[in-house]
Structure 1
Amino acid sequence: MRKKWKVLLVFFIIGAVGLCFNGPVLAETVKVGGIMDTTGATSDVGKDYAFGMVEAFKYINENGGINGNKVKYTWFDYGYRIPEAITRYKFLKRMGVVAIMGWGTGDTEALSPTVNQDKLPYVSASYSAHLTDPAKSKYNFFFSSDYSTNARACLTAWFDKKWPQHPDYGKRKPRFACCYMSASPYCNAPIKAIRDHATMLGFEVGADQDVSLFALDAKSQINALKEFKPDVVWHGNTTMSVSATMRDAYSLGLGADWIINNWGFDENLPRLAGPAAEGAIGATPCAFFGQKQPDGNYYKNMDKVVEYAAKYNPGIPPEKRLNRTVQAWADALIFWEAANRADKAGSLDGETIKTKGFETMRNFEIGLGSSPVSYTATDHRPTTGCLVQEYRNGAFNELSRVDLKARWPEKWANEWQGW
């Protein structure tokens, strides 16, 4: 009898194993990490980006995940502190994430050698040009035109569109200066590029003014600028300190135009700067939250951004959401595309995501008002130019689309990458 039961048990086990192998295959979970700033020096723009990233991964999972595999997105606030970012990175790596959605320039650049060694794709909200040369930063990606491209594009747009309207046009050189926090890797990342571009275009370049990311008062810097009398000033900080500086410039009668890097140019700018925001020009790598095309229709995928913001964060009114949400979606969507391509090529390891994912993209359309993105094994600059918008009469409107590669092809190809 015992022998009979042993035989039956063996057949039962074999049958169960057979069911496991012949039955439906369970989808795997793909782990993705996030390192965000929701409490630190750039939290004025970081919180909305963090909200948007969570919402974007909700959308990705509800629309098939990575070829049927759900994404588990785990993120941490690091308070804009580089040591904390390194700690969080190490933890996420131990978790077994296949990629990390990162944030700031200082931490992203500091982690880049480690990311290279670990072969772990790192999609950042830092658009530093230093991260676009694969010879140095093999696993760094982002969807936007880099900060140096933004700066060159904004100055070019002002030079083309605004300077010819100035009463001194043709009588003297235009005068240019910069305001930014000199100790911040993010803020100073494009300064070499924009000063070089100003010289190339024939500007007289004045001394830089050091303005903290935490600044609520910039009167001393504005008074220093008044001695130079700039026609246009570049501001490289985030929205809070940009607004404070512009308010002081307005009250003290500086009289200069402002061109602003993308993290200082958003829906909060006119709310915080008031009338000082009128005429401000900024780099906008994607459309503003809920912004529509001239024909009145949403940009591709913008309806999803608005829908998922309302669905998963209904407590935040739509008018309080920023284009930072849209930027988060754009970075999430390029990762999604790269991961899908890599998975179809046979693996979701970091090297395959890089080589068979990102580096196979040619003019990939994200929508959201952004430029199509391309990456190659030798160039991780996603786009060749930038949309420059102007805030006037209560609305953000296109001023110019500047294609640096088309305008200066030799410099684009041979000189400008990586700085």
Structure 2
Amino acid sequence: MKGLWIKTLLVSLVPVFLLGFVSLAGAGSIRIGGLTDCTGATSDVGKDYALGLVEAWHYVNDTGGINGKKVKYTWFDYGYRIPEALTKYKLLKRMRVLAIEGWGTGDTEALSPTVLKDKLPYVSASFSAHLTDPAKSAYNLFFAPDYSTQARAALTAWYETRWPKHKDYNKRRPRLACVYAFPSPYASSPIKAIKDQAKMLGFEIGPDQDVSLTAIDTKSQIMALKKFAPDVCWHGNTTMTVSATMRDAYALGLGADWLVNFWGFDENLPKMAGEAAEGAMCAAPAYFFGSNKGIMKTVKEYCKKYNPGVPLKNRLKFTVAAWNNVLLLREAMVRADKAGDLSGPGILHKGFETMRGFAIAGGGLGSSPVTYTATDHRPTGLVPVAELKGGKFQIVTTIDVKGRWPKKWKTEWLGW
């Protein structure tokens, strides 16, 4: 079934890729590049994001482009291989793209010094906090709270809504353990931050457990966790291994709640993990795909129009994340173009860094208003937190990380 889905996806996307590739010389057009993972270790979530990027750029062109200029979007599947990402980046640069829609943390961080040197805006699906300090990564941007801010918010939400209901509340400290792929820059990105937050809140922190991004059997890690008996576990991987871990934890009676990083908590999770996923929590920086709020009707219409071979029931929240990043980049380019400087530096300084509380699509994609300054590229500190209850996603609370810890936000937390 998974193989069939991949085949359907690639058949639907390849014509779009070729169309963009062969028509780059069109007069009055703007070239945008893309790097995605449709076949690699994170393709379980990357395919949906790739679809969303294509559909969102169609929407941009259908609604006026960049002040009347059409966008030519050309993308490559680099299979979550950093060397391949570097090669494809060089190709996109030779094609003179004005900006790139990127994907993973490992490749985005590896490319960051080059992107800075080339002054090429790079809007990624990686929300790594390492990319938010303009002194080091000025041309790296994204729409959502960074992974570290999301992790701090998720743990705080659990501590304030779940822990007071625990039978041991006021009798002992809550216990946290982290489960993630140690070698993965994505999975390990927020670990330092969530442990720092845990110490601030008075948690006892147990030993980390290494679970690869492609693991389907995690029983040995669960048995190790049982010795520590955590009250809550953080899982930093993508949905496939998150669901496998949850199933093993449920079967072996771990008895802990789960907090999950953004790319491991989606509409497939209840399908794959069943009851084992009940009560899991995650930051929700944008609408889930099933929402009918804002412009979600339009998003779904574009899904059906440009990728009819993928049923709406199989689409995920990552489509919505893609639209947020596309419309964010569009706004930056519109502003830069109006200022007469549609270049990399112009898009950054006269586009992104002029945004103050900017609501992407008027807030119609469920994201928090974003702000970028010359010294801080963290988009927002406002983090809605969702839980899975009865197979449905619902917002439990919203944690204002910046507002609640303003001194630490300003002086300590930038870049990690």
TM-score, L = length of structure 1: 0.92
Counterpart of 2:325 (choices 313, 326, 331) is 331
String of CA shifts for 1:113-133, please: whole Å, max 9, x gaps. Answer: 000000000000000000000
CA distance in 1, matches of 2:123, 2:403: 27
- C-alpha displacement at 1:301, in angstroms? 2.1
Task: Report the counterpart of residue 145 of structure 1 in structure 2.
Answer: 145
SS in 2 for 1:186: helix
SS in 1 for 2:409: helix
Q: Does 1:352 align with 2:352?
A: no
Q: How do residues 285-300 of structure 1 correspond to structure 2 at under 5 angstroms?
A: 285-292=285-292, 298=293, 300=294
Q: Does 1:381 align with 2:372?
A: no
CA distance in 1, matches of 2:400, 2:53: 28
CA contact (8 A) 1:231 1:255 kept: yes
- C-alpha displacement at 1:326, in angstroms? 0.4
Q: Percent identity?
A: 67
Task: Report the counterpart of residue 392 of structure 1 in structure 2.
Answer: 389
Unaligned segments of structure 1, at least 5 residues: 1-25, 293-297
Task: Report the counterpart of residue 243 of structure 1 in structure 2.
Answer: 243
- C-alpha displacement at 1:27, in angstroms? 5.6
String of CA shifts for 1:291-339, please: whole Å, max 9, x gaps. Answer: 13xxxxx1x2222211100111111111100001000000000000000
SS in 1 for 2:398: strand
Task: Report the counterpart of residue 408 of structure 1 in structure 2.
Answer: 405
CA contact (8 A) 1:141 1:380 kept: yes
Task: Report the counterpart of residue 103 of structure 2 in structure 1.
Answer: 103
CA distance in 1, matches of 2:228, 2:327: 44
- C-alpha displacement at 1:386, in angstroms? 1.2
CA distance in 2, matches of 1:27, 1:169: 66
CA distance in 1, matches of 2:377, 2:296: 25
CA contact (8 A) 1:153 1:404 kept: yes
Task: Report the counterpart of residue 210 of structure 1 in structure 2.
Answer: 210
One-letter amino acid matched to 1:358: F
- C-alpha displacement at 1:72, in angstroms? 0.2
Q: How do residues 254-273 of structure 1 correspond to structure 2 at under 5 angstroms?
A: 254-273=254-273
CA distance in 1, matches of 2:358, 2:38: 30
Q: How do residues 73-112 of structure 1 correspond to structure 2 at under 5 angstroms?
A: 73-112=73-112
String of CA shifts for 1:264-301, please: whole Å, max 9, x gaps. Answer: 00000000001101111111110101313xxxxx1x22
Q: How do residues 36-185 of structure 1 correspond to structure 2 at under 5 angstroms?
A: 36-185=36-185
Moved more, 349-358 or 303-312: 303-312
- C-alpha displacement at 1:405, in angstroms? 1.1
Q: Over the residues paired in the alignment, what is the CA RMSD in angstroms?
A: 0.8
String of CA shifts for 1:58-93, please: whole Å, max 9, x gaps. Answer: 000011111101000000000000000000000000
String of CA shifts for 1:12-33, please: whole Å, max 9, x gaps. Answer: xxxxxxxxxxxxxx96010000
SS in 2 for 1:291: coil
String of CA shifts for 1:334-393, please: whole Å, max 9, x gaps. Answer: 000000000000021100000000000111111211111110010000011311100001
CA distance in 2, matches of 1:414, 1:291: 37
CA contact (8 A) 1:27 1:69 kept: no
Number of matched residues? 388
One-letter amino acid matched to 1:390: E
String of CA shifts for 1:391-419, please: whole Å, max 9, x gaps. Answer: 00121001110001111111111111100
One-letter amino acid matched to 1:242: V
One-letter amino acid matched to 2:411: N
CA distance in 1, matches of 2:342, 2:327: 16
One-letter amino acid matched to 2:403: A
CA distance in 2, matches of 1:204, 1:278: 24
Moved more, 324-333 or 366-375: 366-375
Runs ≥4 in structure 1, deviation > 6 angstroms?
none
SS in 2 for 1:234: strand
Q: Does 1:308 align with 2:334?
A: no
One-letter amino acid matched to 1:76: F
CA contact (8 A) 1:232 1:256 kept: yes
In our comparison, the structure showing a higher alpha carbon Rg is 1
SS in 2 for 1:59: helix
SS in 2 for 1:136: helix
SS in 2 for 1:388: strand
String of CA shifts for 1:131-179, please: whole Å, max 9, x gaps. Answer: 0000000100000110000100000000000000000000000000000
SS in 2 for 1:135: helix
SS in 1 for 2:215: coil
Counterpart of 1:364 (choices 358, 367, 371) is 358
CA contact (8 A) 1:290 1:303 kept: no
CA distance in 2, matches of 1:158, 1:72: 44
Task: Report the counterpart of residue 17 of structure 1 in structure 2.
Answer: none
CA distance in 2, matches of 1:301, 1:50: 19
One-letter amino acid matched to 1:249: A
One-letter amino acid matched to 1:318: L
- C-alpha displacement at 1:95, in angstroms? 0.2
Unaligned segments of structure 2, at least 5 residues: 1-25
CA distance in 1, matches of 2:99, 2:402: 30
CA distance in 2, matches of 1:151, 1:274: 23
TM-score, L = length of structure 2: 0.92
CA distance in 2, matches of 1:290, 1:231: 30
CA distance in 2, matches of 1:329, 1:289: 11
One-letter amino acid matched to 2:223: N
